[in-house]
Amino acid sequence: MATRVPPGLLDGARSDVGGLSWIGYTTAHLVHLGQTSAVLEAGGSLVPVTHPATGLMPGGVCLGTATQFGRLRSILSGATDSRVAGWCGWAGGTRVDLGLSAAPAAAEAVDRLHVALALEPVPGPTWLVGQVRRLRASAPDIARLACRLDSRLDVAVSSVIGAGPGSTPTGDDVLVGVLAGLRLSDRGHAVRHLSSVVVRHLSGTTRTGAHFLLAATQNRFAEHVHHAARAVCDRASVVPVIAQCRGWGATSGIDLLSGLAAAIPNPQEEAA
């Protein structure tokens, strides 16, 4: 029997304007229940339902309060069936456009970010640490190949997509970061080139990884990516953003930030 979720849990919720409206969906399926997110499947799409501290994700719904998320988590964790019902008729609450716009980078911020990321330790079993470092280090090459419309981008992307720990593997987070950085620096030709290559390789990763990568190619980025983007615009934001990124999964936040930083041209070098 499907688990019924009280409609009141959605009071104050926000949703991705590019995602499902949820109107008409009477049943969803629980794919994953984490500590700060529950991933549902509805209408053939993934719907990440998140804790307010996690923020809104592409195609998702962010609940209004921690209490609401706790209640949802409690209901879902006690479910005997993966089907979740009772959210039909919800009109979507506040719809948020998760698109990134171009923004001027600050040379000092970019420099500081690169230095800080180079010093950032990688957690996890020792045998995986080297892989995570390799994947992060691949970001500058991927950004460069994308900007040059180089056909070798295909091989570069295929070697990182789906690679690394996590249900959204490190390589996917790096690629989302690179796409975000290219958007921020207003290099549309590079975004289109990288997007076309990424879309061809989506079968090489997990379903959640593919979900976020596809969204990134459509200029829909999780709110935490928007927050991370501040680090390249404001020197004072670098330290707090890195601290925040450390809390996104085991390595996801720093993976993403590494990709983003690698795709931002240093304003001073560009001027020279």
Partner 1 sequence: MSVVRERIFSRLYRDSVELMAIASTLERAEGVERVGAVMATPANLAILQASGMLPAGLIAAPDDLVIVVRAQDEDAATVTLEEAEQHLAGGDVPGSQPSGTVLHTIADAMTQKLPPPWPRSPFQVSSLPSSESRHCGQVSTCSASPTMSPSKTRSA
Q: Which of 116, 128, 192, 266 binds partner 1 (CB under 8 A)?
A: 128
Give me 95's structure tokens.
Answer: 């719809």
Using alpha carbons, select from 105, 114, 197 the residue that is nearest to residue 160.
Answer: 197
Nearer to partner 1, 39 or 117 (CB): 39
Distances from the Cα of 41 to the Cα of 46, 50, 51, 72, 95, angstroms: 5, 14, 17, 16, 19
Give CA angle at 23 (94, 42), nearest 5°: 100
Least separation, in Å, of the C-beta of 246 and partner 1? 7
Give me 246's structure tokens.
Answer: 């450390």
Residue 133 binding partner 1, by CB under 8 A: no
Least separation, in Å, of the C-beta of 118 and partner 1? 20
Least separation, in Å, of the C-beta of 77 and partner 1? 9
How many residues bind partner 1, per CB under 8 A? 73
What gap in Å lies between CA 178 and CA 181, rounded to an integer?
A: 5
Least separation, in Å, of the C-beta of 51 and partner 1? 7
Residues in region 228-267 near partner 1 by CB under 8 A: 229-230, 233-234, 237, 240-241, 243-244, 246-247, 249-252
User: Side by side, which strands form the sheet with 61-62?
Assistant: 3-4, 83-85, 27-33, 37-42, 45-50, 61-62, 14-16
- In this chain, which stretch among 122-130, 139-147, 189-197, 258-266 interacts with partner 1, using CB under 8 A? 122-130
Nearer to partner 1, 131 or 266 (CB): 131
Residues in region 177-216 near partner 1 by CB under 8 A: 184, 203-209
Least separation, in Å, of the C-beta of 114 and partner 1? 19
Least separation, in Å, of the C-beta of 104 and partner 1? 8
Least separation, in Å, of the C-beta of 259 and partner 1? 16
Least separation, in Å, of the C-beta of 243 and partner 1? 5
Give me 199's structure tokens.
Answer: 């879309």
Q: Which of 58, 176, 181, 223 binds partner 1 (CB under 8 A)?
A: 223
Give me 105's structure tokens.
Answer: 């980078």
What gap in Å lies between CA 147 and CA 141, rounded to an integer?
A: 10
Residues in region 40-99 near partner 1 by CB under 8 A: 51-53, 56, 70, 74, 91-99
Q: Strands 14-16, 27-33: parallel, antiparallel or unpaired by DSSP?
A: unpaired
List CB contacts of 128: < 8 A, sequence separation 6 or more. Answer: 164, 165
Biggest CA pair distance of the chain: 66
Nearer to partner 1, 88 or 149 (CB): 88
What gap in Å lies between CA 77 and CA 84, rounded to an integer?
A: 11
Using alpha carbons, select from 246, 249, 264, 257 the residue that is nearest to residue 121.
Answer: 246
Nearer to partner 1, 86 or 169 (CB): 169
Residues in region 10-29 near partner 1 by CB under 8 A: 12, 14-15, 17, 21
What gap in Å lies between CA 204 and CA 171, rounded to an integer?
A: 11
Nearer to partner 1, 193 or 211 (CB): 211
